[in-house]
């Protein structure tokens, strides 16, 4: 995890910390129906205020002192992710490839404006001005196609601010209380049947609205749809729904709304990552793969072949499959990203992903320590003190 120590005083340091997975991906607030809308790289966040901003610690409280710290009014080389609830800014420490993420909640924005800038202006790059309750911030686009990226982000931002998805949980609780009030009037088997009927009616209504509505309708009902449709996700991933038109529509809808962790080149943009290892698609795929493999590597003795990984990972992704080349690229950059695992090729040519806890150097050290510990115990309990360890005992 990135260090929580305040390293610099810049706009990033003045925003709340966003929780990340062990591999550096954003932890979504799934219970509140948060989904990712778009992501862009090579962005700059700049303060548009005369006075310095107030830095925040990891717990959200104001920093006790800024003594000895120089105010820097901008952060560059950021990756920005927009969700239904917040704008998340990612930065990568080039020394160890550790990621840090801060966010600006959309409820703290009261207006977003688009400014193109002139040819001779210092602000000639396309940008958005985020008018927030903590002050004005500039979001500057540096990638090719920056003007389109700005317009796309502005469109998604305005829609998300109109929907106010963060208020959905309260509305859901009110609906649930009404349903529970009806069910509470029943007892015994009648109560169970009533609750089941209410649940199925609500699921049917949501599914019907989802398939006949547009994207706006889907996102407006995102919190409820996430819960309903994810029940079908397990069945979909097992292939029990077949290859019908409804199955394809369900899969596409889940991916487009961010209800799955799938990632595809077709809907992802991003240039070379700040670490210089690979493009943003590959590094993000590597982080997703690492989160997916972490518990499975422990169960498999610390390593898995790429063939097995390709099968189980694509099975988990449903219909949005990755190619063998994408898997090789993602596995190849795991070591440089320091994800706790890396690709290894044995002399036989077999390629595996191996946990760093089971590499040859660490295993040799652990075996040496174990052998010395066991020999000490055996020597102290042996009459002649000349007993050793067999290879079977070491293994």
Residue 276 binned pLDDT confidence (cut-offs 50, 70, 90): very low
Residue 375 binned pLDDT confidence (cut-offs 50, 70, 90): confident
Lowest-pLDDT range of 126-140, 152-166, 227-241 = 227-241
Q: What is the pLDDT of residue 246?
A: 62
Number of domains in the chain: 4
**Domain ends where: 201, 224, 256?**
256
Q: Residue 60 contacts by C-beta under 8 Å, 6 or more apart in sequence? A: 16, 17
Q: What is the pLDDT of residue 258?
A: 46
- Rounded-to-integer distance, Cα 266 and Cα 104, Å: 27
Asked whether residue 124 falls in the same domain as residue 190, the answer is: no
End-to-end alpha-carbon separation of the chain, Å? 33
Tell me which residue has tokens 């610390």.
302
Residue with the larger pLDDT of the pair 384 and 298: 298
Asked whether residue 15 falls in the same domain as residue 38, the answer is: yes
* Residue range(s) defining the domain that contains residue 293: 268-358
With a cut of 90, say whether residue 199 has pLDDT above it.
no
Average pLDDT over residues 16-22: 91
With a cut of 80, say whether residue 330 has pLDDT above it.
yes
- Rounded-to-integer distance, Cα 304 and Cα 312, Å: 11
Q: Can you give the C-alpha Rg of the chain in angstroms?
A: 26
The structure's pTM equals: 0.68
Asked whether residue 33 falls in the same domain as residue 81, the answer is: yes
Residues comprising the chain, all counted: 395
The candidate with the shortest Cα–Cα distance to 97, out of 15, 23, 26, 42, is 23
Residue 177 binned pLDDT confidence (cut-offs 50, 70, 90): low
**Domain ends where: 119, 134, 163?**
163
Q: With beta carbons less than 8 A apart as the criterion, state whether 359 and 351 touch.
A: no
Q: Alpha-carbon dihedral of residues 343, 344, 350, 351, nearest 10 degrees?
A: 0
Residue 2 lies in a domain: no
With a cut of 80, say whether residue 88 has pLDDT above it.
yes
Q: What is the CATH number of the domain that holds 303?
A: 1.10.10.10
Q: With beta carbons less than 8 A apart as the criterion, state whether 167 and 183 touch.
A: no
The candidate with the shortest Cα–Cα distance to 288, out of 334, 323, 243, 257, is 334
β-partners of residue 129 are: 113, 138
Asked whether residue 93 falls in the same domain as residue 143, the answer is: yes
Average pLDDT, the chain: 76
Asked whether residue 158 falls in the same domain as residue 15, the answer is: yes
Lowest-pLDDT range of 29-43, 265-279, 328-342, 348-362 = 265-279
Q: What is the pLDDT of residue 144?
A: 78
Lowest-pLDDT range of 168-177, 217-226, 339-348, 365-374 = 217-226
With a cut of 50, say whether residue 259 has pLDDT above it.
no
pLDDT in tens, 217-245: 555 555 555 555 555 555 555 555 555 56
Other CB atoms closer than 10 Å to residue 351's CB: what's the count? 17
Q: What is the pLDDT of residue 102?
A: 93
251: its two tokens = 């899969």
Q: What is the pLDDT of residue 157?
A: 92
Residue 60 binned pLDDT confidence (cut-offs 50, 70, 90): low
Residue 366 binned pLDDT confidence (cut-offs 50, 70, 90): confident
Report the 3 state secondary structure along 215-263: HHHHHHCHHHHHHHHHHHHHHHHCCCCCCCHHHHHHHHHHHHCCCCCCC
Asked whether residue 173 falls in the same domain as residue 151, the answer is: no
Average pLDDT over residues 45-52: 88
With a cut of 90, say whether residue 293 has pLDDT above it.
yes
214: its two tokens = 């547009």
Q: What is the pLDDT of residue 18?
A: 92
Q: With beta carbons less than 8 A apart as the criterion, state whether 88 and 47 touch.
A: no
């Amino acid at each position: 995890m990135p260090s929580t120590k305040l390293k610099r005083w810049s706009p990033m340091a003045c925003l709340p910390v966003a929780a990340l997975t062990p591999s550096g991906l954003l932890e979504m607030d799934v219970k509140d129906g948060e989904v990712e809308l778009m992501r862009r790289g090579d962005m700059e966040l700049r303060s548009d205020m005369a006075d310095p901003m107030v830095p925040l610690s990891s717990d959200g409280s104001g920093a006790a002192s800024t003594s000895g710290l120089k105010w820097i009014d901008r952060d560059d080389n950021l990756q920005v992710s927009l969700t239904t609830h917040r704008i998340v800014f990612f930065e990568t420490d080039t020394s160890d490839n550790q990621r840090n993420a801060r966010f600006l909640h959309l409820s703290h924005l009261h207006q977003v404006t688009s400014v193109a800038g002139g040819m001779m202006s210092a602000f000639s790059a396309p940008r958005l001005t985020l008018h927030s309750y903590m002050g004005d911030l500039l979001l500057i686009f540096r990638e090719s196609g920056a003007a389109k990226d700005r317009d796309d982000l502005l469109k998604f931002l305005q829609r998300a601010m109109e929907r106010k998805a963060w208020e959905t949980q309260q509305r859901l609780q009110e609906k649930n209380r009404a349903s529970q009030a009806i069910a509470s009037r029943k007892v015994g088997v009648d109560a169970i049947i009533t609750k089941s009927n209410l649940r199925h009616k609500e699921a049917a209504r949501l599914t019907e609205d989802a398939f006949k509505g547009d994207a706006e309708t889907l996102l407006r009902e995102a919190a409820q749809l996430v819960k309903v449709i994810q029940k079908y996700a397990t069945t979909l991933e097992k292939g029990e729904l077949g290859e019908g038109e409804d199955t394809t529509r369900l899969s596409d809808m889940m991916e487009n709304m961010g209800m799955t962790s799938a990632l595809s080149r077709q809907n992802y943009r991003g240039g070379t990552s700040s670490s210089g290892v690979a493009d943003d698609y590959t590094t993000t795929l590597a982080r997703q793969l690492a989160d997916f493999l972490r518990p499975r590597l422990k169960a498999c003795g610390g390593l898995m072949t790429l063939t097995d990984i390709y099968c189980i990972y694509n099975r988990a992704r449903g219909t949005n499959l990755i190619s063998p080349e994408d898997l090789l690229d993602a596995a190849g950059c795991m070591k440089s990203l320091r994800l706790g695992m890396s690709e290894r090729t044995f002399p036989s040519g077999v390629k595996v992903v191996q946990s760093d806890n089971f590499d040859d150097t660490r295993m040799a050290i652990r075996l040496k320590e174990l052998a010395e510990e066991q020999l000490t115990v055996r020597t102290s309990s042996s009459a002649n003190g000349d007993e050793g360890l067999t290879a079977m005992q070491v293994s």
